[in-house]
Amino acid sequence: MILPVTIRSIQHYLYCPRRYGLLEINRDWQENALVVRGNLVHERVHSGEHSYSDKDGFCRSNVELYNDELEIYGTADCIEFERSDKAEYSEILGGRYIVRIIEYKPTKPKSALAEQSDMIQCFAQKVCADSIFGIDCECMMYYADVRRRVRLPFETEYDKYFSLLNELLGNMREVLDSGVIPAKRKGQSCGGCSLDGVCMPNVPKYSVRSEIRRMAEDE
Ligand code: SF4
């Protein structure tokens, strides 16, 4: 059986496999200021105030997505459906639409890894939306700090992101199957991680040998 994976957890794994294990295997959870800030941005989007319909199309927030082939599921912040005679015909929508997935982020990513992680999250949403609506969906990232949308280049880099996503899902399912929380990765940056109180990344691993040595030194 293939274990279902949430789209949100892909980012946790990319940020730190140990964090992913703590969340998914141990069911640990702690919030910090960064998590709260992200939640506030998403709460506004998910409140429904972004949903509307007019003659040019409609927009929905908090859209549930899934893909049976990859066994992934999650929620898109917001999807716009723009009527266009030049767009592909979607059977399920009953018309020609440009379907645009918008992912909201509080800030622009501070590192290449964070940027990659945001992109893969959005790509996973696209794979789901493509299969649901039967057309090639567009993806945009909206950065709340600079109030800007950025279009993601999936039309030219689809294969690259598809194999990256597949590889990642394979690695994540290995962790879930093993039931073992991964150790802290070498060089892992922990700044901003809300789980540091549970993970205790700076406490040395318990070792019987060092314990015996310490006791011998105390005598
Ligand atoms: S504190 Fe560091 S090692 Fe622990 S889960 Fe967070 S990022 Fe990973």
**CB-ligand 1 contact for 188 (6 Å cutoff):** yes
Q: Is the pLDDT of residue 48 over 70?
A: no
**CB-ligand 1 contact for 100 (6 Å cutoff):** no
CA of 219 to the centre of ligand 1 (A): 36
Long-range contacts of 162-171 (CB under 8 A, 24+ apart): 162/123, 162/127, 164/120, 164/123, 165/10, 165/70, 165/120, 165/123, 165/124, 165/127, 166/70, 168/10, 168/13, 168/14, 168/120, 169/5, 169/10, 169/70, 169/71, 169/72, 171/13, 171/17
Pick the residue whose CA is nearest to atom 5 on ligand 1.
Answer: 19
Q: Is the pLDDT of residue 37 over 90?
A: no
Pick the more confident residue, 51 or 23: 23
**Tokens for 209?**
């040998």
On the CB side of 18, CA atoms within 13 Å amount to: 16
List, for residues 204-214, the tens digit of each pLDDT value: 776 777 778 87
CA distance 166 to 172: 10
CA of 189 to the centre of ligand 1 (A): 7
**CB-ligand 1 contact for 12 (6 Å cutoff):** no
List of domains in the chain? 5-218 (3.90.320)
**Tokens for 74?**
């999650």
List, for residues 147-203, the tens digit of each pLDDT value: 999 999 999 999 999 999 999 999 999 999 999 999 999 999 888 888 888 898 887
Contact between 46 and 109 under an 8 Å Cβ cutoff? The reply is no
Pick the more confident residue, 73 or 106: 73
